[in-house]
């Protein structure tokens, strides 16, 4: 079999070493803040005292892991698709390790920008920057007539109720208990997903949009790609949330919300506010400034703290520094959307399914195409409904390809005439 060829076996062994070396390099886990900081800050805020949190990060030493990653990179063949993948992956893990070793210092922000980019980076296709796109969505959300919102869009449910709903839906999808939905009182984020569990913040309130967004985003992208990655015998690292795959993972997850009709303008606004806040922090705004920016944008004090801590986790709080991970959402969405349209135009829609075979980049899935054909890499066992229905996906993308030919700047300011 092709999977037993010497070059495949060589790189599979290197990949197994990389998985072992990267095991403790968990950026989001180790850079996160304890939930007690949030309550302490909110108690002060309620008394009219906004004081920046004080965070002491533990010291980490990943020098052994970084040496092993360097050795793996030296042994990989850059001309081989698996070797090229390993070279890029080991570099990403090494930068992530350096970020964790420099938590609380300006260097963490520098490493973050290397891994995730910055808000002023251009979007795919040399388009506008992520920050310009963010301002576009914020402006549209602010102009929306609030009276148009249906009552159902304003009703919230508890984390417990959402847990029961999501668990029933996931059990029905898999036909068994594959992913457990759990409540976590110690989370600051509203939700997080792994291969076998999805956690919800116990104190949070969720809307109907949140419900369906979490199902499509967390479960049917983040969890499914992790589960499918675990089924890969040659590249076990495809089950890992590598920093270099973040843009594609988040872009694919937001695209899933979009194509299933489960993204609302408020969700786009929340994502966009984070990008603007990162730009503010890089420009000199401190934690309190960013917290108040979210408050002024209409978020509750609790959500404003959660949003601000996303911007400042791992970096100094006095301005000029930011954790830039949230800059990837719009860039990833545009990249994935563009890739899917390209795949349809090239008659290679199969690549869109293969993107679910593990956590990979858009470049990875293209270089891996011969390996899927040869049976070295396995196709995804689990697929979201929208990507498994090729005709429906092709129909939406075909319309998008044609609609993009229409130049809105060539349409007059008044509504165009339509004849039916």
User: Which tens digits make up the pLDDT trace of 375-394?
Assistant: 999 999 999 988 887 677 77
Beta strand 180-184 with 197-201 is parallel
Q: Which of 268, 254, 315 is nearest to 290 (CA)?
A: 315
**pLDDT at position 123, please?**
87
Q: Where are the beta strands (DSSP E) in 202-296?
A: 205-207
Least confident span in 54-68, 75-89, 393-407: 393-407
pLDDT over 60 (residue 122): yes
CB 82 within 8 A of CB 371: yes
Counting Cα atoms < 13 Å in the Cβ hemisphere of 181 gives 23
Tokens representing residue 320 in the block = 């000029």
pLDDT over 90 (residue 397): no
Query: Averaged over 261-278, what is the pLDDT?
Result: 91
Phi, psi angle pair for 68, to nearest 5°: -65, -40
Q: For residue 61, count other CB atoms closer than 10 A to its CB.
A: 10
pLDDT in tens, 73-113: 999 999 999 999 999 999 999 999 999 999 999 999 999 99
Tokens representing residue 400 in the block = 């998008």
pLDDT over 90 (residue 400): no
H or E stretch including 373? Answer: helix 369-373
Distance CA 99, CA 93 (A): 10
* The Cα angle at residue 410 between residues 407 and 416, in degrees rounded to 5: 100
**Sign of the dihedral defined by the CA atoms of residues 150, 152, 158, 163, in that order:** negative
**pLDDT at position 410, please?**
53
Distance CA 345, CA 343 (A): 5
**pLDDT at position 267, please?**
86
Query: Under 8 Å CB-to-CB from 331, ≥6 apart: which residues?
Result: 117, 121, 123, 124, 130, 247, 251
Work out the widest C-alpha separation in the chain, in whole angstroms: 70
- DSSP designation for 151: G
Distance CA 207, CA 185 (A): 19
pTM of the model: 0.90
How many Å from the N-terminal Cα to the C-terminal Cα in the chain? 59
Percent of the chain scoring above 90 in pLDDT:
75
pLDDT over 80 (residue 209): yes
CB 104 within 8 A of CB 315: yes
Query: Under 8 Å CB-to-CB from 256, ≥6 apart: which residues?
Result: 216, 217, 220, 221, 384, 386
Distance CA 105, CA 304 (A): 23
pLDDT over 50 (residue 420): no
CB 304 within 8 A of CB 69: no
Phi, psi angle pair for 66, to nearest 5°: -65, -35
Banded pLDDT at 3 (limits 50, 70, 90): very low
Banded pLDDT at 188 (limits 50, 70, 90): confident
Query: Under 8 Å CB-to-CB from 245, ≥6 apart: which residues?
Result: 359, 360, 361, 364
pLDDT over 70 (residue 65): yes
Tokens representing residue 278 in the block = 């990162």
pLDDT in tens, 325-355: 999 999 999 999 999 989 988 889 899 999 9
**pLDDT at position 177, please?**
93
**pLDDT at position 369, please?**
96
- Average pLDDT of the residues of the chain: 90
Q: What angle in degrees, to the nearest 10, is found between the helix axes of 265-282 and 287-296? A: 150
Q: Let me know how long the chain is.
A: 420
pLDDT over 90 (residue 155): no
Give 327-359 as a DSSP string: GHHHHHHHHHHHHHHHHHHTT-THHHHHTTSSS
**pLDDT at position 166, please?**
96
Query: Under 8 Å CB-to-CB from 118, ≥6 apart: which residues?
Result: 278, 282, 324, 327
């Amino acid at each position: 079999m092709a999977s037993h060829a010497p070059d495949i076996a060589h790189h599979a062994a290197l990949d197994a070493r990389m998985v072992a070396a990267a095991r403790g390099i968990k950026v989001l886990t180790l850079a996160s803040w304890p939930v007690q900081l949030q309550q302490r800050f909110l108690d002060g805020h309620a008394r009219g005292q906004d004081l920046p949190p004080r965070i002491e990060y533990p010291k980490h030493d990943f020098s052994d892991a970084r040496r092993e990653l360097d050795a793996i990179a030296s042994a990989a063949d850059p001309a081989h698709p698996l070797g090229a993948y390993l070279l890029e992956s080991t570099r990403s893990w090494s930068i992530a390790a350096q970020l964790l070793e420099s938590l609380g210092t300006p260097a963490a922000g520098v490493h973050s920008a290397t891994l995730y980019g910055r808000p002023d980076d251009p979007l795919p296709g040399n388009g506008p920057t992520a920050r310009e796109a963010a301002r576009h969505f914020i402006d549209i959300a602010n102009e929306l007539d609030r009276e148009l919102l249906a009552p159902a869009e304003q009703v919230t449910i508890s984390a417990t109720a959402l847990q029961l709903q999501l668990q029933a839906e996931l059990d029905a999808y898999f036909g068994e208990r594959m992913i457990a939905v759990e409540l976590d009182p110690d989370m600051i984020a509203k939700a997080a997903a792994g291969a076998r569990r999805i956690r919800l913040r116990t104190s949070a309130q969720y809307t109907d949009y949140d419900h369906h967004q979490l199902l499509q985003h967390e479960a049917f992208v983040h969890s499914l790609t992790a589960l499918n990655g675990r089924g890969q015998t040659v590249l076990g690292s495809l089950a890992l949330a590598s920093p270099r795959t973040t843009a594609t993972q988040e872009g694919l997850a937001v695209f899933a919300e979009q194509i299933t009709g489960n993204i609302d303008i408020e969700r786009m606004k929340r994502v966009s506010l984070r990008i603007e806040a990162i730009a503010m922090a890089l420009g000199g705004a401190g934690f309190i400034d960013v917290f108040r920016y979210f408050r002024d944008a209409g978020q509750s004090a609790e959500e404003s703290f959660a949003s601000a801590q996303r911007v400042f986790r791992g970096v100094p709080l006095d301005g000029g520094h930011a954790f830039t991970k949230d800059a990837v959402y719009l860039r990833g969405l545009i990249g994935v959307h563009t890739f899917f349209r390209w795949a349809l135009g090239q008659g290679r829609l199969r690549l869109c399914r293969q993107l679910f075979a593990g956590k990979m980049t858009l470049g990875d899935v293209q270089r891996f195409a011969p390996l899927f054909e040869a049976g070295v890499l396995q196709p995804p066992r689990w697929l979201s409904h929208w990507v498994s229905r090729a005709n429906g996906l092709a129909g939406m993308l075909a319309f998008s390809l044609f609609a993009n030919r229409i130049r809105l700047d060539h349409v007059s300011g008044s509504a165009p005439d339509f004849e039916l």
